[in-house]
Structure 1
Amino acid sequence: MLNNYYAPSYEITPLTMAVIAIQDENGNTATRILEDREEYSIHYAPSKMVDNACKFFGSSLRGRQDGTRDICGITHKAPISIDPTSGMYFFPTTSPSNTKCSWIAHSHIDQVNQGPGRQTEVIFKNQKSIILSVSLGSMLNQVQRTAQYRYLLDNRIKYLQRHNPDVVAEPFA
């Protein structure tokens, strides 16, 4: 169900499957948010939506990209974790500075298939699908890079939880 109004505010959540670049009626970049059961149109660009989500969790898109680089060396079209504790790992379809960049939630993907021409079909676990103007090879690479990043970051978090279960930051006196 597409809500044909522009929501005044929207936060990316664990239910968000994709943050898709579209053009509004004036030719400006806008975003179609695809969730498990609903769709929204937002006046902001997708990378701005992702940046806002990162800021909600205490970082920024740039900060999350820097973290990805430091953890696994990925510098271009870096996957990010908006919030690792809730499993919100997203990857960009192109450079995030490109107005046509969309963001896909790794955990919601069921299949990635060849679409018409040089496009790719992404089928989500709820059987909704989208067609993106990205080659199949590029999309499969992004899915794999995100899986690798997710594995490395999740292992770091699990290691800290296992080896420092009682460590709690002390408040200032």
Structure 2
Amino acid sequence: MGRRNQNPISYTVCSNTYALMPYMNGHREGTRVIEDRSEFIVEESVYKTVTSSCSFYRGSLESATLYSQKAIRVKHKPPVIIGEYYGNPLLFFPTHSPKNKDSVWFNFDAVDLVDTDESGKGSIVHLSNGVTVPLDVSPIALRNQHSFAGSLRRYFKNAQQVHKHQMIYLTKRRYTPRKEHPLD
């Protein structure tokens, strides 16, 4: 894993972002960012990183949460689509309530496996880049979170298809040349 030399002040989530983890430097909150090929620390909190990333993609965490709650009917710790990147959702799920300073956010596409730790109470999250993240969170709870994120992806992809078919129908209907009446 490559490391950057200096800590950026802020960070915007992208498709290469695998996990956002809380990091304490003395009394200052920061974020440990795990990307596909690098890791580094950002000076802003995880929550601020998530909310500012939603804003970057022209949305808000609040609207992303409401969309998720409507789509998959999960009220507590729902996964969210932070933004859309070339037609694909940037789908992340939290380990705790989003405002909780201990919450870790995972990219749905980056999680290969949620395993049980040696104690049987915590989890080890295996990311697709080979990094493992141990957490004091129930593996059952994390697997549920990952499953909810998969449901949100399916909902989003189905909505994309419906929208695409509606656009094709409207385009064909709007631009179909009229047949002239034979008596005109």
- TM-score normalized by the length of structure 1: 0.89
Partners of 1:110 and 1:123 within 8 A in 2:
yes
**What amino acid is the match of 1:13?**
C
**Counterpart for residue 40 of structure 1:** 40
Aligned to 2:6, what secondary structure does the other structure show?
strand
C-alpha contact (below 8 Å) 1:19/1:31 kept by paired residues: yes
Letter in 2 for 1:15: N
Relative to 1, partners in 2 of residues 1:166 and 1:83: Cα closer, same or farther, differing over 3 Å?
A: farther
Matched residues in 2 for 1:101 and 1:78: separation? 13
| Contact 2:10-2:49 within 8 A present in 1 as well | no
1:134 corresponds in structure 2 to: 137
Give the Cα–Cα distance (whole angstroms) in 2 for the partners of residues 129 and 4 of structure 1. 22
Map 1:1-173 → 2, pairs under 5 A: 1-3=2-4, 5-24=6-25, 26-84=26-84, 85-117=87-119, 118-165=121-168
Give the 3-state SS of the residue equivalent to 2:78 in structure 1: coil
Contact 1:123-1:130 within 8 A present in 2 as well? yes
Distance 1:167 1:159 in 2: 12
What are the ranges of 5 or more consecutive residues in structure 1 without an aligned counterpart? 169-173
The alpha-carbon deviation at position 4 of structure 1 amounts to 5.2
With the length of structure 2 as denominator, give the TM-score of the two structures. 0.84
Once residues 65 and 140 of structure 1 are traced to their aligned partners in structure 2, the CA distance between those partners, rounded to angstroms, is 19
Percent of aligned pairs sharing the same letter: 24
Q: Which has the larger radius of gyration?
A: 2
Deviates more, 1:151-160 or 1:81-90: 81-90
Runs of 4+ aligned residues of structure 1 deviating over 6 Å after TM superposition are none
- The two structures, once aligned, show a CA RMSD in angstroms of 1.7
How many equivalent residue pairs? 167
Distance 1:106 1:35 in 2: 13
Q: Name the aligned partner's letter for residue 7 of structure 1.
A: P
CA pair 166-15 structure 1, distance change in 2 beyond 3 A: farther
5+ unaligned residues in a row in structure 2: which ranges? 172-184
Conserved? CA contact 1:87–1:107, under 8 Å: no
